[in-house]
């Protein structure tokens, strides 16, 4: 079976989700107070915080006193040479971003809400400075617009991490918050998935990939850019190889595969090896275009079942893993520079344990238990990455969130988000559950009402079938990513619903609940707000 097209469009889509959208021009110098244009019906203000973060504020003439503070996601903190495939040509930017997109900003402004957001002073992993910038921005806004009564914080990806950190720092100074598709509680947790996957790619498919422990300064930058090129190249080779394997049944590994791997594992399809490292890292086995359920032709044909069961999971890992590997390289370079040395360490990682439950579920795609055990045995004996203890200590001193919730919060994430797994939001819910239980106990003891939960967890679900095929039976990868997949892949209706839930909570001091909540979530589509829903925790938290 031929695998059509290129993954370029897919990877670019995800990369763009990581990068910023430009809305307004950045100011050229820092200001103590914002410069406002005084226009109606919307006044736009720009300025810079004391650390140099440019910001943007937009205030409607009918401002109702509530402002939404948006924190944008991870932006690379290095330029990417244009020669690099897929993401080449990226330039560092700190353009301010006051909302998820222009449509949502317009929606909020039309309802009398103000919006604001910065571009942060520093790109890359910037949790500490990001929270500081947001705190200053809130104060600046309140000073400028004294009618302000409520501040709602929201953000996506790393911006979700910053939002949670901000909510834990400010407590009831905020009136509501929404960490969307939030990053893990620590940078160490966030980078484990990507690091495990990149190490697997290096070990199985191209040992010349450095995969971290980059040199200081320009040399390290060059090493990382070289790694990017190598990873994208080997992913392309895997894509071609998997296509051949699905046609012929014969294994087809990249030519950069170590001889020892070919010798020990060469009879196993490369798709199984790729799937294994994706699963052990915790990557979703459903991606933007591969559902694991659909094949070409008649549903009763063996080719349909064969593609769905054997090919689709590996292709999903390929699609998801390309983004994870890019993040692993660029974020690792960033964090290593901040920490002063190598931070990824898998010397004690038990990959067999990490993949235990998934190995059963995907046994057929992994080519059976014997093949799986062989691959895991190779990984167990392969050289591991060792971190610099001092760098790890410094990395662990960076901002982390604990799950403390003081005001109504909404989380939303797709169940197959490949960058910030849905399990991060589940981890937050689990952390809050203990706090909420204690609150109920205390209230009962004090003869007070039990009190309602301050957390609504929304999960975007994938459709049962969404892989499509062209007339030749090749999968189509040019269609929009399916609901529940890709990174921070939300519809306008979903954003609006979250914004509305936040507005309700901000006004009423508690969440919408019961039937009205269920109706709101049902209307936005593709999601569940079931209280008991649990996504798989990232491997950092649980070797499930």
Partner 1 sequence: MFVQRRTKGGIFAAAVVAAAALVASALPAHAETGVTSSTIKLGVTIPLTGAAAPGYNKIPAAMNAYFSYVNANGGVNGRQIKLVVKDDAYSPAQTLSVTNDLILKDKVFALVGTLGTANNEATTRLVNSQGVPRLFVNTGFSGFADMKKYPTTFPLFPSYATEAKVMGKYLADNFAGHKVALIYQDDDFGMDALKGFGTAGTNFVAKIPYAALSQADPSVVGKWITSIVAAGADTVVMFGVTSATGALAGGLYKANLIGKVQLILGSVGSDGTTLKGLLGPLAPALAGSIAASFLPSPADATDEYITQFKAINAQYNAGATFDNNVLVGMNTAMLTVQALRAAGTSPTRASLIKAIETKGSTWASAAFSPILYSPTSHVGYTGYWFGKLGLDGNAVSVDGPGKYTLYTTDSGSAPVVKACNSSSNASEGIA
Residues making contact with partner 1 (CB under 8 A): 249, 285-286, 291-293, 299-302, 304-306, 308-310, 312-313, 357, 360-364, 366-371, 461-465, 528, 530, 532-534, 536, 544
What DSSP element (H or E) covers 440? helix 422-445
Q: Give whichever of 270 and 332 is closer to partner 1, judged by the CB atom.
A: 270
Q: Give whichever of 188 and 424 is closer to partner 1, judged by the CB atom.
A: 424
Q: Which two tokens stand for residue 33?
A: 């107070």
Compute the least distance from the CB of residue 265 to partner 1, in Å: 14
Q: Which residue do the tokens 């410069």 mark? A: 35
Beta bridge partners of 54: 48
Q: Give whichever of 116 and 458 is closer to partner 1, judged by the CB atom.
A: 458
Taking alpha carbons only, the member of 287, 277, 235 closest to residue 417 is 287
What DSSP element (H or E) covers 152? strand 150-156
Q: DSSP E strands: which ranges in 165-215?
A: 176-180
Q: Give whichever of 171 and 299 is closer to partner 1, judged by the CB atom.
A: 299
266 preceded by a cis bond (ω within 30 of 0) = no
Compute the least distance from the CB of residue 253 to partner 1, in Å: 18
Strand order of the β-sheet with 114-118 is 35-36, 42-48, 54-60, 114-118, 66-71, 150-156, 176-180, 409-414, 455-460, 527-528
Q: Give whichever of 24 and 416 is closer to partner 1, judged by the CB atom.
A: 416
Compute the least distance from the CB of residue 532 to partner 1, in Å: 5
Contact 114, 60 (CB under 8 A): yes
Q: Give whichever of 149 and 361 is closer to partner 1, judged by the CB atom.
A: 361
Strands 42-48 and 54-60: antiparallel
Compute the least distance from the CB of residue 162 to partner 1, in Å: 29
Compute the least distance from the CB of residue 313 to partner 1, in Å: 7
Q: Give whichever of 211 and 318 is closer to partner 1, judged by the CB atom.
A: 318
Q: Which residue do the tokens 């594992």 mark? A: 265
Taking alpha carbons only, the member of 154, 64, 166 closest to residue 112 is 64
Q: Give whichever of 28 and 300 is closer to partner 1, judged by the CB atom.
A: 300
Longest dimension (CA), the chain: 71
Q: Give whichever of 4 and 528 is closer to partner 1, judged by the CB atom.
A: 528
Contact 410, 458 (CB under 8 A): yes
Beta bridge partners of 207: none
Compute the least distance from the CB of residue 536 to partner 1, in Å: 6
User: What is the residue-wise DSSP string for 492-527?
Assistant: HHHHHHHHHHHHHHHHHSS---HHHHHHHHHHH-SE
Distances (CA, A) of 156 to 17, 72, 503: 10, 6, 18
Q: Which residue do the tokens 């996601």 mark? A: 73
């Amino acid at each position: 079976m031929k695998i059509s097209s290129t993954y370029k469009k897919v990877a670019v889509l995800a990369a763009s989700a990581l990068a910023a959208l430009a809305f307004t021009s950045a100011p050229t110098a820092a200001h103590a107070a914002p410069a406002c244009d005084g226009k109606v019906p919307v006044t736009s203000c720009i300025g810079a915080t004391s650390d140099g973060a440019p910001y943007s504020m937009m205030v409607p003439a009918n401002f109702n006193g509530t402002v939404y503070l948006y924190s944008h996601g991870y932006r690379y903190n290095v330029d990417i040479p244009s020669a690099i495939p897929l993401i080449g040509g990226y330039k560092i930017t700190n353009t301010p971003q006051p909302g998820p997109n222009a449509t949502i900003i317009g929606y909020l402004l039309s309802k009398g809400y103000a919006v604001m957001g910065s571009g942060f002073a520093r790109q890359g992993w910037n949790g500490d400075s990001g929270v500081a910038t947001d705190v200053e921005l809130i104060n600046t806004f309140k000073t400028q617009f004294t009618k302000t009564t409520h501040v709602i914080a929201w953000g996506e990806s790393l911006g979700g991490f910053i939002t949670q950190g901000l909510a834990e720092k400010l407590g009831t100074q905020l009136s509501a918050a929404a960490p969307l598709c939030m990053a893990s509680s620590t940078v160490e947790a966030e980078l484990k998935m990507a690091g495990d996957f990149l190490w697997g790619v290096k070990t199985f498919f191209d040992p010349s990939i450095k995969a971290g422990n980059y040199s200081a300064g320009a040399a390290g930058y060059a090493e990382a850019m070289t790694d990017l090129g190598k990873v994208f190249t080997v992913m392309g080779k895997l894509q071609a190889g998997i296509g051949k394997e699905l046609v012929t049944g014969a294994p087809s590994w990249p030519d950069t595969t170590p001889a020892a791997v070919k010798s020990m594992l060469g009879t196993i399809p490369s798709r199984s090896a790729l799937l294994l490292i994706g699963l052990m890292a915790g990557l979703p086995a459903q991606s933007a275009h591969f559902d694991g359920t659909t094949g070409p032709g008649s549903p009763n044909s063996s080719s349909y079942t064969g593609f769905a069961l054997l090919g689709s999971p590996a292709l999903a890992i390929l699609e998801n893993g390309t983004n994870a590997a890019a993040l692993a390289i660029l974020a690792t370079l960033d964090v290593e520079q901040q920490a002063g040395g190598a931070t990824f360490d898998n010397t004690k990682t038990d990959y067999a344990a990490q993949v235990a439950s998934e190995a059963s579920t995907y046994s057929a795609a992994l080519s059976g238990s014997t093949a799986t055990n062989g691959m895991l045995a190779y990984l167990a004996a392969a050289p591991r990455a060792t971190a610099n203890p001092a760098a790890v200590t410094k990395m662990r001193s960076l901002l982390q969130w604990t799950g403390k919730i003081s005001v109504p919060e909404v989380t939303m994430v797709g169940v197959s988000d490949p960058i910030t797994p849905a399990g991060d939001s589940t981890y937050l819910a689990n952390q809050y559950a203990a706090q909420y239980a204690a609150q109920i106990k205390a209230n009962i003891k004090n003869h007070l009402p039990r009190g309602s939960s301050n957390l609504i967890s929304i999960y975007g679900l994938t459709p049962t079938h969404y892989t499509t095929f062209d007339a030749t039976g090749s999968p189509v990868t040019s269609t929009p990513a399916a609901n529940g997949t890709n990174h921070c892949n939300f519809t306008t209706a979903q954003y609006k619903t979250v914004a509305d839930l936040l507005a309700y909570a901000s006004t009423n001091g508690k969440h919408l609940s019961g039937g009205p909540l269920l109706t709101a979530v049902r209307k936005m589509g593709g999601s569940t707000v079931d209280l008991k829903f649990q996504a798989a925790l990232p491997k950092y938290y649980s070797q499930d």
